[in-house]
C-alpha cells in the first residue's frame, strides 16, 4: 500500500481509464492535466482514432486540450487492454443501460472486469465509476478479480466512486464537483480518496462501496421523482386552467423548504431515465416495492404522448393534415446528445399521425432508430408554413423572436415565452 500511496502523492501512478464516453474522457483528461500519465482504453476503434487526431466528441473537452496532452505524451488512447499490465490505477467508466424494462444490463462492466482480471497485479487500485445497483462492487467485481488468486484489500484495492458529470454545465467541471468515495476496506477507501484529491477539489468518503453506490442512485432518483411530480402538476394545472410556470415562480420565492423543478417532455440522457430503475430492480429482489420511482418513470415516459394530446386539442380536426415544426431534438439544452431524448419520442408519435419537421442548431440531421430526417432552415417564409411550432428544447442559439413574429401558433413546453399573454402562445 505504501508504494502505491507514494506513487499517487508524487503523481507517478499510471492511470488507465476504461470507457472514453461522456464520463471517461473528461476524467482521463482531468488526470492528465494534473500531471498523471493517463491511458484511455475503449473498444470503439473509431472513437479512439478520433481522439488520436484530437477530434473531441464530448462538449466539455476541447480539441486543443486533447492535442496538447497528446503532444506532452501524458495522454494516449488505445483499444488494447494489454496496456493494463502497466497500470497502477484502473478506473471503469463504461455504460450501464437497461437490458429490458426495469432490468439492469451490467454486461459492459462484466467485460471490463474480465479484462482487468487478466492483467491484475499486486498493489493495483481498481475503481468503478459506472452507475449500478448497490452491491455490484462487492458481490460481483470482488469475487471476479479474486479469481486471480490476489485478495481485495490486501493484494489489490477496490472502490466505487460514482460519476457526477453534468454534460454542458460550464459552472461545474468534473474537477469542481465533490467526489464520493466508498472502499471495500478502509485502506481501499483511503487510497481512492487520496487519488481523487489530486484532481478534484473536494472528496467525501463514505463507509462502504454499497453506501457510495446508493448515494448515486439517491441523487438520480431524487431528480426523476421530482421531475415526474412537476410533470404531473403541469397536467393538473392545465386541467384547472392555471399557469404552472407562474405557480413555480411564486413557490420558489420561499427561501426554505422548496426547490424548483420544471416540467417538460420527460427525461433523457443516460442517467435519469435508467439509473433509478437499477434501484427499483434491486429493491424488488429484497421484496421492497419502490413505488415512487416506478410512478415517476411512467409519468415522465408519458409526457410526449401527453404533448400529442395537447396538440390535437389545439389543432382540432386539422390535426391529421397539419404541418408541425419541432424546435430542438436533444435531450437537454445546449448539449449535442440524443440519448433517450424525449423530443425524439414525440417525433415518432407525431409521424404516425401527421406531418412533422424539426430544427436544432446542434443536430443538422437525424439518422437513428428508424428516423432519417434533415433539419429545416429557420427562415420567416419557412416558419409561416407550419400550423404550429413546438418548443421542445430551449437552446440558446435559437432566435425565438423570429419564431414568434412568423409562427401561426406556438406550443411552448419550456416557457421561453414567459410573460407572453396572447393566443399565439400555448404553454405546457
Catalytic residue positions, numbered: 271
Please name which of 244, 229, 250, 386 lies closest in space to residue 322, comparing C-alpha atoms: 386
Number of Cβ within a 10 Å radius of residue 19 = 26
Q: Any idea what DSSP says for residue 136?
A: H
DSSP 205-253: EES-HHHHHHHHHHHHHHHHHHHHHHHHHHHHHHHTT--HHHHHHHHTT
Give dist(CA 157, CA 146) in Å, integer.
Answer: 11
Residues 281 and 104 sit within 8 Å (Cβ to Cβ): yes
**Residue 19: which region, alpha, beta or left (left: phi > 0; alpha: psi -120 to 50)?**
left
Number of Cβ within a 10 Å radius of residue 100 = 7
Residues whose CB falls within 8 Å of the CB of residue 173, separated by 6 or more in sequence, listed in order: 26, 30, 60
**Helix axes 271-285 and 209-239, enclosed angle (nearest 10):** 110
Residues 150 and 184 sit within 8 Å (Cβ to Cβ): no
Q: Provide the β-strand partners of residue 159.
A: 127, 183
Report the sign of the C-alpha dihedral through residues 222, 223, 224, 227, in that order.
Answer: positive
| Burial grade of 110 (CB within 10 A; 0-12, 13-18, 19 or more) | middle
Give dist(CA 8, CA 197) in Å, integer.
Answer: 10
- Please give the angle made by the CA atoms of 15, 21 and 25, to the nearest 5 degrees: 40
C-alpha cell at 176: 469542481
Amino acid at each position: 500500500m505504501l508504494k502505491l500511496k507514494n506513487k499517487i502523492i508524487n503523481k507517478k501512478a499510471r492511470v488507465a481509464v476504461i470507457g472514453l464516453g461522456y464520463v471517461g474522457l473528461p476524467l482521463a483528461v482531468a488526470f492528465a492535466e494534473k500531471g498523471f500519465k493517463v491511458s484511455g482504453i475503449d473498444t470503439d476503434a473509431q472513437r479512439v482514432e478520433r481522439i488520436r487526431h484530437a477530434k473531441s466528441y464530448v462538449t466539455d473537452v476541447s480539441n486543443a486540450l486533447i492535442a496538447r496532452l497528446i503532444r506532452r505524451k501524458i495522454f494516449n488512447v488505445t483499444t488494447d487492454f494489454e496496456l493494463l499490465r502497466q497500470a497502477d490505477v484502473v478506473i471503469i467508466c463504461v455504460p450501464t443501460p437497461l437490458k429490458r424494462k426495469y432490468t439492469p444490463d451490467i454486461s459492459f462492466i462484466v467485460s471490463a472486469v474480465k479484462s482487468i482480471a487478466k492483467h491484475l497485479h499486486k498493489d493495483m487500485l481498481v475503481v468503478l465509476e459506472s452507475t449500478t445497483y448497490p452491491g455490484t462492487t462487492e458481490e460481483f467485481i470482488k469475487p471476479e478479480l479474486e479469481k486471480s488468486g490476489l485478495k481485495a484489500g490486501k493484494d489489490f484495492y477496490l472502490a466505487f466512486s460514482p460519476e457526477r458529470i453534468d454534460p454542458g454545465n460550464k459552472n461545474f467541471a468534473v474537477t469542481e464537483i465533490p467526489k464520493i468515495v466508498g472502499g471495500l476496506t478502509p485502506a481501499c477507501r483511503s487510497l481512492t480518496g487520496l487519488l481523487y484529491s489530486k484532481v478534484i477539489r473536494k472528496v467525501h468518503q463514505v463507509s462502504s462501496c454499497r453506501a457510495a453506490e446508493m448515494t448515486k442512485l439517491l441523487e438520480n432518483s431524487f431528480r426523476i421523482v421530482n421531475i415526474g411530480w412537476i410533470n404531473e402538476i403541469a397536467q393538473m394545472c392545465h386541467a384547472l386552467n392555471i399557469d404552472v410556470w407562474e405557480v413555480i415562480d411564486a413557490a420558489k420565492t420561499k427561501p426554505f423548504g422548496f426547490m424548483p423543478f420544471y416540467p417538460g417532455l420527460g427525461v433523457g440522457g443516460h442517467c435519469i431515465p435508467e439509473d433509478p430503475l437499477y434501484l427499483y430492480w434491486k429493491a424488488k429482489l429484497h421484496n421492497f416495492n419502490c413505488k415512487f420511482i416506478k410512478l415517476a418513470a411512467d409519468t415522465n415516459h408519458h409526457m410526449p404522448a401527453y404533448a400529442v394530446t395537447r396538440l390535437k386539442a389545439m389543432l382540432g380536426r386539422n390535426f391529421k393534415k397539419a404541418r408541425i415544426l419541432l424546435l430542438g431534438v436533444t435531450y437537454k439544452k445546449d448539449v449535442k446528445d440524443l440519448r433517450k431524448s424525449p423530443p425524439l419520442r414525440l417525433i415518432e408519435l407525431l409521424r404516425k399521425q401527421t406531418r412533422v419537421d424539426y430544427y436544432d442548431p446542434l443536430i443538422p440531421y437525424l439518422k437513428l432508430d428508424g428516423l432519417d430526417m434533415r433539419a429545416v432552415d429557420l427562415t420567416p417564409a419557412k416558419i409561416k408554413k407550419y400550423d404550429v411550432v413546438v418548443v421542445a428544447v430551449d437552446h440558446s442559439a435559437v432566435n425565438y423572436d423570429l419564431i414568434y413574429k412568423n409562427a401561426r401558433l406556438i406550443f411552448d413546453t419550456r416557457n421561453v415565452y414567459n410573460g407572453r399573454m396572447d393566443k399565439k402562445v400555448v404553454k405546457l
